[in-house]
A and B are shown apart, each in its own frame.
Chain A
Amino acid sequence: MLHIFVRIRQRAFRFAPADRAPVVLHHSRIYILPTRRGLAVIATLLLMLLTSLNYALSLGLAVTFLLGGLIASTLLHTFRNLAGIEIKPLAASDAFAGSNIVFSLSLAAGSVDRRGIAISANGVTVTTAVTAGQLATVTLAVPVPARGRVALGRVTLSSTQPLALWRGFAYVHFPLAGIAYPTPETSPPALPAGEHGFDARAQGRGDESDLAGLRDYQRGDPLQHVAWKAVARGAGWFSKAFEGNAAGGPVALEWSKLPLDLDVEARLSRLTAWVLDAERAARPFALSLPGTAFPAATDAEHRRRVLTALALYPEAPA
């Protein structure tokens, strides 16, 4: 019994992220309710109906019913504007807490022109129009206040076309989530000394003024070091090599070596800031958290895994 109730609830409201991409909106998903303007107009029509009946105004009734027919047919138009839309999740960007996670979704119009489709999730709304046969990519920039896993949540597609008397809406809930990394500390202390006894400060922070030359791009090179001008010229993929690259040794970022007076969030903030510093200096970095450790590396995948671990701490990374 309870099971059936849960299933009906899920079918009606899609509270659980159980939709598998792509979802095509059908009549079973589309709800239509009058807007406040629609209610106001319907109330006015009822008043006109009463007046016409009372005064036996046949033409008053005719006009009232004509407008009633208009309201009825706009209901079908509202339904048609949503029915047949195909929606699928594309990606969720990762972001630092305090900024926005950008979720992108793809909307296929199918064979009908779609006008004024509002897509909203997590309190963010984007309105778009898609012509028949076309695709639109919709990006929802969801502000994230705290670190952790941020689900896109239930997406509401809605439309009040054509006369904003009815609001048609449908719920779609994909298991799409992004990671909000801890907010980096604004002015962190210098990177800790590396395993090999290098002092980051002594070695100097290899910044971009110390460009040493170009070398062949390798998978995992940080994107900000790619020589985009060369790529744009069509010369091929190169990475910029910096002075600091050669000089910087690996950095060990260790939870246990942070000052004892820092609380958990402050520690994570500092470690995040250091990860970014190390990356900027193009130095390999290793991270050890209670229960987890990542060996030193420089590539983007490593960075992502490290930051994710920081974001989800104390949860063990998947």
Chain B
Amino acid sequence: MIALPLRRSVAPADPVAAVLLAPAQVVSLGILLICAQLPQAAYLPLWVGVLGVALVVLRFALLRRDRTRKIALPPWALAIVALAIALLIRKQFGYFVGRDPCVAFLYVLIGIKFLEVRTLRDGTLLVCLAIFLLITPFFYNQSPLAAVAALPAVLATGAALEALGSKQPMPISARSVRAAWLRTATMIAQGLPIAAALFLLFPRLASPLWGLPADRAAATGLSDRMSPGSISELSLSDAVAFRVDFDGAAPPSRLRYWRGPVLSLFNGREWRALSPRAGGRLLEGNAPSVRYTVTLEPDDHPWLFALDFPSTLPEIDADGTRASAGGLAGYSREQQFLTRAPVTQPLRYTLTSLLVDSYPVASAFEMQQNARMPPGNPRTIDFARSLRERFPDNRRYISAVLQWFRDEPFFYTLAPPLLEESQPVDEFLFDTRRGFCEHFASAFVVLLRAAGIPARVVTGYQGGEINPRGGYLIVRQSDAHAWAEAVIDGRWQRFDPTAAVAPSRIERGLFGSVPAGDPVPLFAREDGGWLKSLQLTLDAINHQWQRNVVQFNRDRQRALWREWKVDEFAPWQIVAAVAAGVTAWGIAVLAWFAVRRKRKERALTLWESACRRLARGGLPRMEHEGPLAFAERASRRWPQFEIAFRAIGESFAMLRYGDMAKRESERAALLATLERAIEALPRAGKLRAMT
């Protein structure tokens, strides 16, 4: 058979730039752009997210309405539009040279460029912009869902490149798109060994190459100040603060005080932290200890939460990359670990804590700082003085205060009444008596300071939930807590006034301790049912993902290399091993092609042997006769073998001319059918004798 050339052309001087895009190519580009934009849209201001996609859809609409006329928008008009949008984005973010505004601009720019895309070169540019947009959602979220959301765009990239590279692109239909995605998926699967090797072996950076932008995420979490209502607000959030894997059994809930900012400054209403000063000392002793690894969600603060009280420094699971937030800066006097930079990426660290509830005071100055009383709240001060007269001993006085909380009708609630600006502590202690942990902690510390006992508020998280699916602890924002510590016999001793009012808060968490009508978040409830169970499973998956994929950083990579003894090889040996690996991969893929081809050739060999047998039996195949027609003719000649002939003709026709994308298993089955049917035919001599 002679096939005529499909197309004849004299090569132009600049073949790529000169060629205009066919509608099918524009459509596959558009599909790629939409697939790349959608995962990003959630992290952009609403108008940016909608505008970018709308521009792409607009081009589709133009294409549909008027296929023949060229869409001719003057380039300067689009440049003005782009400039206007850049200004709007500048206005929205307040700055332009930064990660977030640039991502937003790239996102919209793709839509603008798509409006005027005309030549193949434009198409190439758009593909490049779109694949860059593939990684930008990971700035904000590296969950398994985010990874899955990137996959359609990866497949659409292959389809768009295929359309751009094709001289006569097929018209777009659901079927053709599916086929193109399938072809891309096959090629990606073939390239998977290379991708996996690169992921495991490509060296990660020890320190960032360029300055990290000062983008601030509006993360929910604790802050370094506390006023009435600030923690109860946090308690409404199901967001995960951090997860903890314990070496061995987790300590009981009542011992799980996760220390955060320590607040010493009080202005009568708001508590604030002192500026952090180094000088913390790690505890030593024989108290029961626990070793654990915290995976901290980014909260944009330089704090590492630790169980009271650490006996080792945290080993941060990276060295100097962005994820490590600049490394450990120090251990503050208030027993809090600080990083050099705010934590903006998930961060893992491992340390050991002693499960005790007191630690030594650093200095007399520290005691002085924590005894200051602001003016105001006179009723509280009067009450403290009268109580102090009855209990001159510090320890007895504190017990009396806690007892008073216990005896008086104080209520622990998520929805306390609003307090007046001027004397909030007075009002809480003597009028409303309904409050959340920050109210109790604050009032407790004020009562102690009024009696001359140095005391301060400690914020952090308390408790957390053990996920039975993964055996690790989930600490959510709803576990945020405030407690107090006071100096007794030269040691800071932990007191939790909330425990006096609602002991179950400490034992069982939020849900067990607030009135039934309070709006407790779903996952802090105990009666969450299947939804909560599903959520726990998902969280377990997410945790593994964070641990093994997202947190696969320089340290983990080095550890893996050590395990594989990569370090022991000389550089030339590594180069040789990589070259050998790539060669082996190439040979393996080509061999796979060959196996598929062999199967095809085997069909032809079998068919030719059948034809030869029939020819010797007296029925040669005509040149023009296809397998089906020849089988038909043979069946007429030897009706007793009709089934075999049909099987041979049909299976050979399917194997030879059927859809290329057919599954391997089907091909194997067809080949087996062909083989068996030919075996069922009698020898040539017998065939001849039958006629």
- Chain A residues near B (Cβ < 8 Å): 36-37, 40-41, 43-45, 47-74, 76-77, 79-80, 111-113, 116, 120, 123-139, 141, 160-165
Contacts and interface: CB of A to CB of B under 8 A. Distances in A.
B208 to A, nearest CB: 5
A48 B195 CA distance: 14
Given A74-B187, A123-B11, 4 more contacts: A59-B142, A69-B190, A70-B157, A76-B590
Nearest to A110: B597
Nearest to B195: A69
A63 B3 contact: no
A134 B1 contact: yes
B10 A123 contact: yes
B127 A41 contact: yes
B237 interface: no
Interface of B: 1-11, 16, 124-125, 127-128, 131-132, 134-135, 138-139, 142, 146-147, 150, 154, 157-158, 161-162, 164-167, 183-184, 187-188, 190-196, 198-199, 202, 204-205, 208-210, 212, 318, 321-323, 345, 549-553, 585-586, 589-590, 593, 597, 600-601, 604, 660
A139 B1 contact: no
Contact of B551 (A40, A58, A163): A58
Contacts of A130: 3
A170 B552 CA distance: 43
Contacts of B2: 135-137
A60 B194 contact: no
Contacts of B202: 49, 61, 65
Contacts of A126: 5, 7-9
B167 A116 contact: yes
Contact of B345 (A56, A77, A127): A56
Contacts of A40: 124-125, 128
B553 A161 contact: no
Contacts of B3: 128-131, 134-137
Q: Is chain B's binding surface mostly helix, strand, loop or mixed?
A: helix
A55 B207 CA distance: 10
Contacts of A80: 590, 593
A63 B187 contact: no
Contact of A56 (B183, B321, B593): B321
Contacts of B192: 66, 69
A73 B135 contact: no
A70 B127 contact: no
Contacts of A120: 11
B187 A62 contact: no
A287 B622 CA distance: 51
B7 A66 contact: no
Given A36-B16, A37-B16, A134-B3, A76 B604 contact: no
Contacts of B11: 120, 123, 125
Contact of A68 (B158, B194, B323): B194
B231 to A, nearest CB: 31
B322 A71 contact: no
Of the listed residues A57, A125, A134, A161, the one surrounded by the most CB atoms of chain B closer than 10 A to its CB is A57
8 contacts: A37-B164, A41-B131, A52-B138, A55-B139, A68-B194, A126-B8, A134-B1, A163-B162
A300 B132 CA distance: 66
A162 B183 contact: yes
Contacts of B134: 48, 63
A134 B3 CA distance: 8
Contacts of A125: 8-11
B132 A44 contact: yes
A305 B574 CA distance: 67
Given A54-B205, A55-B139, A129 B6 contact: yes
Closest 6 CB pairs of A and B: A164-B165, A69-B191, A69-B195, A60-B135, A73-B191, A73-B190
Nearest to B137: A59
Contact of A69 (B4, B188, B551, B586): B188
B452 to A, nearest CB: 50
B158 A113 contact: no
A264 B235 CA distance: 103
B147 A59 contact: yes
B199 A133 contact: no
Contacts of B164: 37, 164
Contacts of A141: 8
B564 to A, nearest CB: 18
Contacts of B147: 59, 62
Given A80-B593, A137-B2, A72 B124 contact: no
B322 A128 contact: no
A64 B165 contact: no
Of the listed residues B154, B198, B600, the one surrounded by the most CB atoms of chain A closer than 10 A to its CB is B198
Given A58-B551, A73-B589, A125-B11, A48 B209 contact: no
Nearest to A132: B600
A163 B142 CA distance: 29
Contact of A67 (B7, B157, B212): B157
A292 to B, nearest CB: 37
Contacts of A135: 1-3
Given A40-B124, A48-B135, A72 B194 contact: yes
Given A59-B549, A65-B195, A163-B158, A51 B135 contact: yes
A128 B131 contact: no
B162 A162 contact: yes
B139 A71 contact: no
Contacts of A73: 187-188, 190-191, 194, 589
A37 B19 CA distance: 14
A49 B199 CA distance: 11
Contacts of B142: 57-59
A239 to B, nearest CB: 29
Nearest to A60: B135
B315 to A, nearest CB: 17
Contacts of A77: 187
B597 A112 contact: yes
A71 B5 CA distance: 29
A77 B589 CA distance: 9
B154 A66 contact: yes
Of the listed residues B184, B202, B553, the one surrounded by the most CB atoms of chain A closer than 10 A to its CB is B202
Contacts of B322: 54-56
A49 B202 CA distance: 10
Contacts of A74: 187
Contacts of A52: 135, 138
A59 B188 contact: no
A56 B5 contact: no
A132 B604 CA distance: 11
Given A57-B139, A62-B549, A111-B600, A70 B187 contact: yes
Nearest to A50: B209
Nearest to B189: A73
A290 B11 CA distance: 42
